[in-house]
Structure 1
Amino acid sequence: MSRYLDTLPTPAHVEPKKLIVLSAPRTGTHGLYSALKLLGYKPYHMVEVLGAGAKAARIMREGSEGEMGMGKPYTRKEFDKWFADYDIIIEMPFFMLRSTLKAYPDARFLLVQRSPEKWAKSYENTLGKVSARTKRFPFTLLKYFDGLMYELNIFSSRTDDRCTKGAGMTEEGKKNLAECYKEYIATVKRLVPPEQLKVLTLEDGFGWEEICPYLGVPVPKDLDWPGRNVPEEFAAITGPVIQRSVRRAIMSLTTITVGIIAAGVWYRRAGGPLPALSWFK
């Protein structure tokens, strides 16, 4: 099956990547994304995917599947198409680490780590809850009537399988979350040369004083670091996206249903058989 990204033209210009953030979701990545925007950078984060819609979500989903051996992994060519207008990549490398490192061997990397147990709990309270919700009715039906919901549903299911080692959000799966995170952090530190990797710890706190010197820019004065990395912030970001997707799906489903009923009424009045019934004769 062809990938959507392969259908896109080669960009005329690609922004040089000034930083690639290897941190997993739920490690202060949204606050970092907001802070880097305040500094004038153009970072790519999950927020960009949610804002762009189904096509961006498909690109992300197909890239993660390639990393998992379910398709062809992305190379620098594909990443240049995807991130052409951005100079910093955040969160996406968590879903396709080896592809990213192979594509950007000389990049400057940042990793924010946290307690594996706390990360697992945070995942369970945010991403895990969203994933579990999308596996229940009416989402199991509505996803077929909205492109973004469909793509995110597949992506979240695959991510859950990876992070819980196939156990899902069961008790066993919740225990596997911490183990998976430990393995990810160890893999990053093993694969990335120490001179190219800055490691911070979320529990120690980080802000302008840690990020700006690494980027070689001045520390801003009288400017608070944005973001709190709490479930409420996650809900504030994802909630409106889910609500809009549900509304679009319901409208599509309603339109299709009304169309079928209208067609049935027309055929009845015209004296002909309903097409759906005649197929079975």
Structure 2
Amino acid sequence: MSRYIDTLPTPAHVEPKKLIVLSAPRTGTHGLYNALKLLGYKPYHMVEVLAAGAKATRIMREGLEGEIGLGKPYTRKEFDKWFADYDIIIEMPFFMLRSTLKAYPDARFLLVQRSPEKWAKSYENTVGKLSVRTQQFPFTMLKYLDGMIHELNTFSRYMNNICTKGAGMTEEGKENLVEHYKEYIATVKRLVPPEQLKVITLEDGLGWEEICPYLGVPVPKGLDWPGRNVPEEFAAIATPVIQGGIRRAVMSLTTITVGIIAAGVWYRRAGGALPMLSWFK
């Protein structure tokens, strides 16, 4: 199957990447995203994906498929198309780490790590719950009627399987979340040269003093660091996207139903006999 990103034109200009953030979701990445925007940067984060809709979500999903062997891995060519207008990449590398490192071998990287147990609990309360929800009715039906729900359903299924090592959000799966996160952090530190990687522990603090010197910019005065993306904030971001998908799916279903009824009425008026369904006999 052809990839959507292959249909996009080669950009006339690609913003040089000033920082690539290798942190997993649920490690202060949303606050970092907002902070970098306040500094004048143009970061790409999951918020950008959800705002752009099904096409951007498909690009993300197909990039993940390439990373896990279900498709062709993304290279610098694909990333340049995807991130042409952005100078910092956040969260996406967590889904396609090796492809990212291969595409940007000389980049400056940042990793915000946290307690594996706390990360697993945060994942369970946010991404995990959303993943479980999208694999249940009515989403298993609505995914055939809305592109965004289809993409989120597929992507979340992949990520849930990866992060829980196939066990899902069971007790075993929750234990596997901890192990997966530990393995991811160890992999980043093994693959990225130390001189290109700044590591910050979330529990030790994440703010202007930790970020600005690494970027080579002054610490802003009198400007508060944006808050962390707590579960309630995550829900506020994700819920409108899900609700929008449900509305579009219902509208599609209504359109299809009305069309079938109209066709039946026309056929009957034209003298055709409607079939008697077996369960009505």
Shorter-chain TM range is over 0.9
Q: Which residue of 1 aligns with 2:82?
A: 82
Q: Which residue of 1 aligns with 2:2?
A: 2
* Deviation (angstroms), 1:273: 4.3
2:176 matches 1:171: no
Partner of 1:145, secondary structure, is: coil
For residues 276 and 50 of structure 2, what CA distance do their matches in structure 1 show?
A: 38
Matched ranges for 1:265-276 at <5 A: 265-273=265-273
For residues 243 and 213 of structure 2, what CA distance do their matches in structure 1 show?
A: 40
Q: Retained in 1: the 8 A contact 2:111–2:199?
A: yes
Q: Which residue of 2 aligns with 1:60?
A: 60
Aligned residues: 277
2:231 matches 1:231: yes
Matched ranges for 1:181-192 at <5 A: 181-192=181-192
Query: Residue type of the partner of 2:2?
Result: S
TM, length-normalised to structure 1: 0.96
* Deviation (angstroms), 1:177: 0.3
Q: Which residue of 2 aligns with 1:47?
A: 47
* Deviation (angstroms), 1:168: 0.8
Q: Which residue of 1 aligns with 2:73?
A: 73
Q: Which residue of 2 aligns with 1:261?
A: 261
Q: Which residue of 1 aligns with 2:24?
A: 24
Q: Retained in 1: the 8 A contact 2:134–2:152?
A: no
Q: Which residue of 1 aligns with 2:36?
A: 36
For residues 250 and 274 of structure 2, what CA distance do their matches in structure 1 show?
A: 25
Query: Residue type of the partner of 1:124?
Result: E
For residues 59 and 138 of structure 1, what CA distance do their matches in structure 2 show?
A: 24
TM, length-normalised to structure 2: 0.96
Q: Which residue of 2 aligns with 1:105?
A: 105
* Deviation (angstroms), 1:2: 0.9
Partner of 2:143, secondary structure, is: helix
For residues 9 and 273 of structure 2, what CA distance do their matches in structure 1 show?
A: 48
* Deviation (angstroms), 1:275: 9.2
Percent of pairs identical after alignment?
A: 86
Give unmatched runs, 5+ long, in structure 1: none
Q: Which residue of 2 aligns with 1:11?
A: 11
Partner of 1:177, secondary structure, is: helix
For residues 210 and 2 of structure 2, what CA distance do their matches in structure 1 show?
A: 42
2:120 matches 1:120: yes
Q: Which residue of 2 aligns with 1:217?
A: 217
For residues 7 and 61 of structure 1, what CA distance do their matches in structure 2 show?
A: 15
For residues 60 and 126 of structure 2, what CA distance do their matches in structure 1 show?
A: 19
Matched ranges for 1:196-215 at <5 A: 196-215=196-215
Partner of 1:111, secondary structure, is: strand
For residues 199 and 75 of structure 1, what CA distance do their matches in structure 2 show?
A: 25
Q: Retained in 1: the 8 A contact 2:131–2:153?
A: yes
- The Cα RMSD (Å) is 1.3
For residues 226 and 213 of structure 1, what CA distance do their matches in structure 2 show?
A: 18
Query: Residue type of the partner of 2:102?
Result: K
Partner of 2:272, secondary structure, is: coil
Give unmatched runs, 5+ long, in structure 2: none
* Deviation (angstroms), 1:227: 2.3
For residues 169 and 117 of structure 2, what CA distance do their matches in structure 1 show?
A: 15
For residues 274 and 78 of structure 1, what CA distance do their matches in structure 2 show?
A: 52
Q: Deviations over 1:54-76 (max 9, x none)?
A: 00000000000100011110000
Q: Deviations over 1:27-65 (max 9, x none)?
A: 000000000011110000000000000000000000001
Q: Deviations over 1:64-108 (max 9, x none)?
A: 010001111000000000000000000000000000000000000
For residues 109 and 178 of structure 2, what CA distance do their matches in structure 1 show?
A: 23
* Deviation (angstroms), 1:205: 1.3
* Deviation (angstroms), 1:229: 2.7
Partner of 2:144, secondary structure, is: helix
